[in-house]
Homo-oligomer: A and B are copies of this chain.
Amino acid sequence: MTTPDPAGGADLHLELPAEGPRRTALTRALRDAVRSGRLAGGTRLPPYRTLAADLGLARNAVADAYAELVAEGWFTARQGSGTRVAERAATTAVRAGAPGPSPSAPRHDLLQGKPDPASFPRSAWAASARRALTAAPTEAFGPGDPQGRPELRQALADYLSRARGVRTTPANIVICSGFANGLHLLASVRPRDWAVEAYGLPFHHGILETSGVRAHPIPVDEDGAGTTELPSRARTLLLTPAHQFPTGGRLLPARRAAAVEWARSTGGVIVEDDYDGEFRYDRKPVGAVQGLAPEHVVYAGSLSKSLSPAIRLGWLVLPDHLVDRVLAAKGLRESWASALDQLALADFITCDAYDRHVRRMRKRYRQRRDQLLSALSAQAPHLRVTGISAGLHAVLELPPNHEAPALAAARAAGLALDGLSTYHHPAAPPPSREGLVIGYAALPDAAFGRALDALSEVIRRVTA
């Protein structure tokens, strides 16, 4: 099997208006084509030069339009296989257009990043919300403090210290509406050069790019990011130490120490994205790097994996010298996160409902992981599965030139999942690894069983 012909891609008919800026018109036409479903998720786009020739545009105009749509999440840029329509973009577009299942929506959703929506603790949350509404001081219903409710900052300071080894006080915590919001804020207050892991979420890469950050990718292996040699210009280092995203490694203690030493000696700042640190299956959860050097690490967490992305709450634990600057960037008047959700979460944590939920989900997700591992080992015992000691997803490693065909077969079988290359930073050297990133947390039991059957069949065919 070979890498797909780079000159290929979807046959694409676009009509641009005769007047006005051409690049803007192209960006809009491509976006509309995705939203309307004309361009399905996973579709490969024509190379720049082909589309530029078709439309009589400069090649750069097409490249810029693609880059903008990657940053917005409509497209994904895959190393070595061009630009594609994001699976999620198509799913969302279809859902927004016509509620309910649609014939073109994937039948089996194994996309990473989603906790189980059916396990949301509705009664416990409603009880916390009611208690919080009853107990809240009157001023809680007035204009919010951009830093966040003091009740929540206190509850988080206690919880993060106890559960994640974070050393902080409520004064150093800023509530935001999720990790992406926090990353936006940090990008606006830190110098331009950031070291980032060679693998990460394209959405985060896009946020940094649109914020004017110059990203310097650093290599990633099974022991996490290579922090022992960092780009000399970088003043900020974005890491996923507990469970490298998405490749799954845990940052080696020596590499943690090297990162902290780098921050101390250069005055740099580590941004620790602890996106799924609560879900560790093989031992006690790995403590946060922040605990080693609170004055040099921003610890960032959110509810998106541990409870639900429907509650838009995240938190930054900041070194003293960054608190005022992040608050200024946040602005005095836009306290994005719902004060009611903040108060409910403070109660939810304080009454131990959060701990109970995490324990329950850890057990459930471990069972799901085990189910995935048996299915994969039955079908392809020669393939390695990595990143399995934590989180809500695993990586099935594939031999060279197998990822693109596997993704094509998966799409044909109605499976929604991503390849490793989706997460590879476009500025990093070409990746030597291929694989499938498999989310195992979100589906109901029966649907998960069917998805595993479909996945096994795809793997059997592709590796036959």
Q: Interface of A with B (CB < 8 Å)?
A: 28, 31-32, 35, 72-74, 86, 88-89, 92, 95-96, 99, 113-114, 117-118, 120, 122-123, 125-126, 129-130, 133-134, 136, 138-147, 150, 177-178, 180-181, 203, 308-313, 324-325, 327-328, 331-341, 442
Contact = CB atoms under 8 A, between A and B. Distances in A.
Nearest to A142: B117
Contacts of A141: 117-118, 120, 308, 310
B309 A142 contact: yes
A138 B117 contact: yes
Given A181-B336, A339-B310, A95 B145 contact: yes
Given A126-B129, A130-B126, A150-B99, A333 B142 contact: no
B178 A92 contact: no
A261 to B, nearest CB: 24
Interface centre among A134, A311, A313 (most CB of B within 10 A): A311
A181 to B, nearest CB: 7
A117 B144 CA distance: 11
5 contacts: A99-B150, A114-B142, A126-B130, A142-B442, A181-B334
Contact of A177 (B89, B325, B336, B442): B336
Given A309-B144, A332-B92, A133 B122 contact: yes
Contacts of A334: 177-178, 180-181
Nearest to A139: B117
Given A126-B129, A311-B338, A74 B142 contact: no
